[in-house]
């Protein structure tokens, strides 16, 4: 493994040699006595001047460990890495995924339909092609929702089972949960991703096969987990409908949809070309939820909601592409992450949505950020000598407050945190504790605001002692503060807001990759385990030669498995 360092004074190559980076190092060296309490006292306009409004998002970065001079240095760094050109290269279809020789054009998936014909890449009208597929998806959606397209027994489809993994699963799951407040049909969804047979068994056991539609998402239609689960689903469907004397080919045709570009493989499985929807090698899996991969969302929530969802992406894309660096929230937030990773030696980043419907958002961001930038090799093939990537994690508030906030508030590790909340709830409920009715959502948001305030300003030893705290407990009740947070709030959790949140973090990840010199769009690190799994598989049952080829630890574990498998 290449050497990575936490202290950039030891860095000797790459971005650390630039003037802007060295200037940021000097800025960091002067931050030792920086205090957020003092910063707010000295600048009454700090919050106003460190707030962005983009689309429906209101973003406050004022509770971060930065000064105006820091933000100016962020701009200098963006200029020094030629970020403006990198942004244009992404949006215009240059092959910035250099290890796979591909453009990166998920942004083309969310252009307005009126933009068809305005972006030609490698001879392809990418916006026109994207909308060609989306309109077919909408036709399928409308036919299922209206009851025009029925199952093989003539019953209406009631459940969509999405079969995929990674980018073919996480985005759809997250958005499905996020938009539950927009449920406007009697169709629900389930998601199967894990090859653990428990997953598909639990998801299928109480379903009616006559009202179930499977959507199999695999670009190559060869993904081990996805195809294994698809075959299991096919067997379940046919076994459970066999006594109804239905035609097998007709059954597969009416109960299976494929999202894939491998038409021959799809045809072998038995899925009709009419039920097959493609996407392109310029769409990475973790960037694909707004493509045909989101067909389940279009079916469940309808075309209108899906179009609004796409509009939220485009607002962020447009702002990111056209805004100057000093008024560009994507660039600023990306530079903040770099500031903490590379100068404050922060290893992780907490995502804390105060919106229950966003409970899968941290998991979605784990793939987006960690698969994109979890690398020790630069895009040019050289080894990096600075820290790259962050460990993203989190849970919804207020659950997290009763689980891990102790570490964020008083632990030894600096953990930057993004707090995300809606002004208006999906459900407005009031509680009466005997002293009068209280708006439960306001109580919820009070916690949101209190946590960011406590993390920023803390509680001094003097303040704790003044409350009459016993001397032996004073130190335990001190909060140092100066724990950085960013607040992202919006009117309500609409489809456009969900799209904007995804695009915001997508482009933040892109900017970090440019600064670190990475190709954020390949993921070679996931391949080795897949290859080894296929080599180990025969050793689990009868192949002693495969068993003997393993290292001593793996061999001993397999022997334990063989002995104890019932």
Kindly report the three-state secondary structure assignment for every residue of 56-102.
CEEEECCCCCCCHHHHHHHHHHHHHCCHHHHHHHHHHCCCCECCCCE
What pLDDT digit, counting tens, does each position of 391-443 carry?
999 999 999 999 999 999 999 999 999 999 999 999 999 898 888 899 999 99
pLDDT at 12: 37
Residues 158, 163, 165, 166, CA torsion sign? negative
Mean pLDDT, residues 235-260 taken together: 93
Q: For residues 376 and 443, is the Cβ–Cβ distance under 8 A?
A: no
Helix runs in 274-338, H state only: 295-301, 303-322, 329-338
Residue 9 has pLDDT above 80, yes or no: no
Mean pLDDT, residues 470-476 taken together: 96
Mean pLDDT, residues 253-274 taken together: 92
Active site residue 106: no
Mean pLDDT over each residue of the chain, to the nearest integer? 94
pLDDT at 14: 80
**What letters, b where the CB count within 10 A reaches 16 and e where it falls short, cover 435-465?**
eeeeeebeebbeebeebbebbbbbeeeeebe
Q: What is the DSSP letter of 13?
A: S
pLDDT at 279: 87
| 123 phi, psi to nearest 5 deg | 80, 10
Q: For residues 289 and 279, is the Cβ–Cβ distance under 8 A?
A: no
pLDDT at 10: 37
Q: Secondary structure of the chain: what % helix, strand, coil (to 5)?
A: 55, 10, 35
pLDDT at 401: 95
Active site residue 530: yes
- Of 249, 461, 530, 535, catalytic: 530
Compute the radius of gyration of the chain from its Cα atoms. 26
Integer Cα distance of 104 and 98 in angstroms: 10
Give the pLDDT band of residue 13 (cuts 50, 70, 90): low
Mean pLDDT, residues 230-246 taken together: 93
What pLDDT digit, counting tens, does each position of 323-371 carry?
999 999 999 999 999 999 999 999 999 999 999 999 999 999 999 999 9
Give the C-alpha distances (Å, rounded to integers) separating 419 from 61, 212, 423, 454.
11, 38, 13, 13
pLDDT at 270: 92
Give the pLDDT band of residue 533 (cuts 50, 70, 90): confident
Active site residue 303: no
Residues near 335 by beta carbon (within 8 Å), at least 6 away in sequence: 74, 77, 78, 511, 515
Spatial strand order of the sheet with 256-259 comes to 188-192, 159-163, 212-217, 256-259, 276-277
Of 6 and 478, more confident: 478
Mean pLDDT, residues 53-61 taken together: 97
E strand or H helix that includes residue 173: helix 170-178
pLDDT at 131: 97
Residue 177 has pLDDT above 80, yes or no: yes
Mean pLDDT, residues 102-113 taken together: 96
Residue 307 has pLDDT above 60, yes or no: yes
- Of 72, 235, 268, 402, catalytic: 402
Q: For residues 391 and 340, is the Cβ–Cβ distance under 8 A?
A: no
* Claim: this prediction has a pTM higher than 0.85: yes
What pLDDT digit, counting tens, does each position of 14-42 carry?
899 899 999 999 999 999 999 999 999 99
Integer Cα distance of 367 and 92 in angstroms: 25
pLDDT at 2: 36
Give the pLDDT band of residue 523 (cuts 50, 70, 90): confident
Other CB atoms within a 10 A radius of the CB of residue 133 amount to 18
Integer Cα distance of 523 and 526 in angstroms: 6
- Percent of the chain past pLDDT 70, that is, above it, reads 98
What pLDDT digit, counting tens, does each position of 384-398 carry?
989 999 999 999 999
- Of 371, 390, 395, 506, catalytic: 371
What pLDDT digit, counting tens, does each position of 280-297 carry?
999 999 999 999 999 999
Residue 4 has pLDDT above 60, yes or no: no
């Amino acid at each position: 493994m290449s050497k990575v360092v936490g202290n950039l004074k030891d860095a000797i190559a790459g971005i650390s040699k630039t003037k802007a980076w060295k200037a940021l190092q000097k800025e960091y060296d002067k931050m030792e006595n920086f205090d957020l309490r003092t910063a707010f006292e000295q600048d009454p306009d700090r919050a106003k001047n460190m707030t962005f409004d983009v689309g429906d998002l209101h973003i406050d970065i004022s509770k971060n460990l930065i000064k105006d001079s820091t933000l100016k240095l962020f701009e200098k760094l963006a200029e020094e890495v030629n970020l403006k050109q990198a942004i244009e290269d992404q949006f215009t279809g240059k092959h910035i995924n250099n290890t796979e020789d591909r453009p990166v054009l998920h942004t083309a998936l969310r252009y307005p339909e009126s933009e068809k014909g305005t972006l030609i890449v490698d001879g392809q009208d990418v916006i026109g092609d994207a909308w060609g597929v989306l309109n077919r998806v909408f036709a399928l959606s409308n036919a299922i929702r209206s009851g025009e397209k029925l199952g093989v027994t003539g019953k209406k489809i009631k459940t969509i089972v999405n079969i995929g993994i990674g980018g073919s699963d996480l985005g759809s799951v997250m958005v499905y949960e996020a938009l539950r407040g927009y449920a406007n049909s009697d169709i629900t969804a389930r998601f199967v991703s894990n090859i653990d047979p428990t997953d598909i068994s639990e998801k299928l056991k109480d379903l009616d096969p006559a009202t179930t539609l499977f959507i199999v998402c695999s670009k190559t239609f060869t993904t081990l987990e996805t195809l294994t689960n698809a075959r299991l689903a096919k067997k379940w469907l046919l076994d459970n409908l066999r006594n109804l004397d239905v035609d097998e080919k007709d059954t597969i045709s009416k109960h299976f949809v494929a999202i894939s570009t491998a038409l021959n493989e799809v045809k072998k499985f038995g899925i009709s070309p009419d039920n097959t929807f493609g996407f392109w090698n310029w769409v990475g899996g973790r960037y694909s939820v707004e493509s045909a991969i989101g067909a389940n969302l279009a079916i469940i929530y309808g075309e209108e909601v899906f179009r609004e969802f796409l509009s939220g992406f485009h607002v962020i894309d447009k702002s990111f592409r056209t805004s100057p660096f000093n008024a560009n929230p994507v660039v600023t937030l990306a530079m903040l992450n770099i500031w903490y990773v590379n100068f404050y030696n922060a290893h992780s980043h907490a995502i804390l949505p105060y919106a229950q419907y966003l409970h899968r958002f941290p998991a979605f961001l784990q793939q987006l950020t960690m698969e994109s930038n979890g690398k020790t090799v630069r895009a040019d093939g050289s080894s990096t000598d600075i820290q790259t990537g962050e460990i993203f994690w989190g849970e919804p508030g207020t659950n997290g407050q009763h689980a891990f906030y102790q570490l964020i508030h008083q632990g030894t590790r600096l953990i930057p945190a993004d707090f995300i909340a809606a002004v208006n709830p999906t459900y407005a409920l009031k509680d009466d504790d005997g002293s009068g009715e209280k708006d439960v959502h306001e109580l919820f948001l009070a916690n949101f605001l209190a946590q960011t305030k406590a993390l920023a300003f803390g509680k001094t030893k003097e303040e704790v002692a003044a409350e009459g705290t016993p001397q032996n407990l004073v130190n335990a009740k001190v909060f140092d503060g100066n724990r950085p947070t960013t607040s992202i709030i919006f009117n309500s959790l609409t489809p456009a807001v969900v799209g904007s949140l995804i695009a915001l973090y997508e482009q933040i990840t892109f900017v970090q990759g440019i600064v670190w010199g990475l190709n954020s769009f390949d993921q070679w690190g996931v391949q080795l385990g897949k290859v080894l799994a296929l080599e180990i598989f025969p050793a689990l049952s009868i192949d002693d030669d495969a068993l003997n080829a393993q290292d001593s630890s793996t061999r001993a574990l397999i022997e334990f498995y063989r002995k104890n498998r019932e």
